[in-house]
């Protein structure tokens, strides 16, 4: 899927640079600016790491030159107060929508910081895209909106990178051995002798099972138990008795 981000009549060049940075974070590099407000719109100060993207961006005088060869054009809008003439796609449902549409080349339009996309541009869109924001504070910063949409696009495109590695969980037998070890320690220490050993074992087992112990946790605990056990054992004395 080829994605193009189109900024329509953006006012603040810093926002253009920041939008480019957000695009680059999610692996998109095709930026077109329609009728930039400022003649000098290529701003790289805020484009940290995405300077090349900004320098390669194209400015056009009209929308056709920007998206003519794209199969699906989505116009972002806060939706409220507009007479909706198109299907409205929530960003959180973008994946299903794109799958269903099956377009290979998708352009996404973002309007001016103050007024969003005018009707003339919305008219040219296949559908409207909206980020579900809070009713009290619906209006997003332009580069935030671009970044969130690119994030969503990247999630639906494919899994980037590898999954996080987690620690190997301890197996049941290891946990049982750990319970026994704890019980030995308790016995040696004379810990709560008025409570039956079975009760104590149940409680400590429940905890160990809840804790999602990893194999390395088990080793650590055995080491600690062993140490405390040695420390506790009075040398050359008869073993104590416990329940």
> Of 83, 136, 173, 239, which lies in the binding site for a second copy, with binding defined by CB under 8 A?
136
Nearer to a second copy by Cβ, of 147 and 174: the residue is 147
Asked if residue 137 binds a second copy (CB under 8 A), the reply is yes
| Min dist. Cβ of residue 224 to a second copy (A) | 7
Q: Choose the binding region for a second copy from 41-49, 64-72, 103-111, 235-243 (rule: CB under 8 A).
A: 41-49
Asked if residue 187 binds a second copy (CB under 8 A), the reply is no
| Min dist. Cβ of residue 155 to a second copy (A) | 5
Residues 49, 20: contact at Cβ < 8 Å?
no
Asked if residue 84 binds a second copy (CB under 8 A), the reply is yes
Asked if residue 214 binds a second copy (CB under 8 A), the reply is yes
Asked if residue 238 binds a second copy (CB under 8 A), the reply is no
| Min dist. Cβ of residue 22 to a second copy (A) | 5
Nearer to a second copy by Cβ, of 59 and 78: the residue is 78
> Of 21, 70, 153, 179, which lies in the binding site for a second copy, with binding defined by CB under 8 A?
21
Q: Tokens in use for 149?
A: 């949409």
| Min dist. Cβ of residue 57 to a second copy (A) | 15
- What's the CA gap between 57 and 119, in Å, rounded? 25
- What's the CA gap between 175 and 209, in Å, rounded? 7
Asked if residue 168 binds a second copy (CB under 8 A), the reply is no
3-class SS letters over the chain: CEEEEEEECCCCHHHHHHHHHHHHHCCCCCEEEECCCCCCCCCCHHHCCCHHHHHHCEEECCHHHHHCCCCEEEEECCCCCCCCCCCEEEHHHHHHHHHHHCCCEEEEEECECCCECCHHHHCCCCEEEECCCCCCCCCCCHHHHHHHHHHHHHHHHCCCCCCCCCCCECCHHHHHHHHHHHHHHHHHHCCCCCCCHHHHHHHHHHHHHHCCCEHHHHHHHHHHHHHHHHHHCCCCCCCCCCC
Asked if residue 12 binds a second copy (CB under 8 A), the reply is no
Asked if residue 207 binds a second copy (CB under 8 A), the reply is yes
> Of 55, 215, 232, 233, which lies in the binding site for a second copy, with binding defined by CB under 8 A?
232
- What's the CA gap between 240 and 235, in Å, rounded? 12
Query: Which residues bind to a second copy, rule: CB under 8 A?
Result: 18, 21-22, 24-27, 46, 48-50, 79, 84, 87-92, 128, 130-141, 143-144, 147-148, 151, 154-155, 159-161, 163-167, 189-192, 203, 207, 210-214, 217, 220-221, 224, 227-228, 231-232
């Amino acid at each position: 899927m080829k994605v193009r981000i189109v900024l329509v009549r953006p006012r603040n060049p810093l926002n253009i640079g920041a939008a480019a940075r957000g695009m680059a974070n999610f692996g998109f590099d095709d930026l077109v600016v329609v009728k930039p407000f400022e003649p000098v719109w290529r701003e790289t100060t805020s484009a940290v790491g995405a300077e090349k993207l900004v320098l390669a961006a194209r400015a056009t005088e009209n929308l056709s030159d920007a998206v003519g060869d794209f199969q699906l054009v989505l116009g972002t809008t806060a939706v409220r107060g507009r007479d909706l003439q198109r299907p409205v796609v929530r960003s959180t449902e973008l994946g299903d929508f794109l799958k269903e549409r099956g377009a290979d080349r998708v352009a996404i339009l973002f309007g001016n910081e103050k007024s969003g996309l005018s009707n003339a541009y919305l008219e040219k869109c296949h559908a409207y895209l909206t980020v579900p924001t809070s009713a009290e504070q619906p209006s997003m910063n332009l580069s935030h909106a671009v970044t969130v949409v690119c994030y969503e696009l990247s999630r639906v495109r494919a899994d980037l990178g590898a999954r996080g590695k987690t620690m190997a969980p301890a197996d049941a037998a290891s946990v049982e051995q750990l319970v026994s070890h704890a019980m030995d320690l308790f016995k040696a220490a004379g810990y709560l002798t008025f409570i039956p050993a079975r009760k104590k074992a149940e409680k400590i087992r429940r905890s160990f099972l809840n804790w999602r112990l990893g194999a390395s946790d088990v080793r650590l605990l055995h080491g600690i138990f062993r140490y405390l056990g040695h420390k506790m054992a009075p040398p050359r004395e008869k073993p104590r008795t416990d329940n």
